[in-house]
Amino acid sequence: MKLIGLQAILTIISHLSFIALAFWAISALHIERLMTFYPRQSRVLIVMLAVAVGFACSSFFLDFINNVRNLGYLL
């Protein structure tokens, strides 16, 4: 049971860190300058893009690590 809890905490930390990293990277694009008439919507767009990209990247890396761990069962 402790292993499942540890994996859950690791997954949450991974998702949040990748979302923060994606938000930092997308914020550097300054999308709000392109959407001068809709400043609130541009901020929401940045947050939603950060969540989507961060979650996708985190899921990819967690699945990759899980698949590498499962290679041991091949032998």
> What is the pLDDT, as a whole number, of residue 39?
85
> What is the pLDDT, as a whole number, of residue 75?
80
Retrieve residue 55's tokens: 């979650």
> What is the pLDDT, as a whole number, of residue 32?
83
Retrieve residue 28's tokens: 């550097």
Which CB contacts under 8 angstroms, 24+ apart, belong to 23-26?
23/47, 23/50, 23/54, 26/50, 26/53
User: pLDDT digit string (tens) for 23-69?
Assistant: 999 999 988 888 888 888 889 999 999 999 999 999 999 999 999 99
User: pLDDT digit string (tens) for 49-62?
Assistant: 999 999 999 999 99
pTM over 0.85: yes
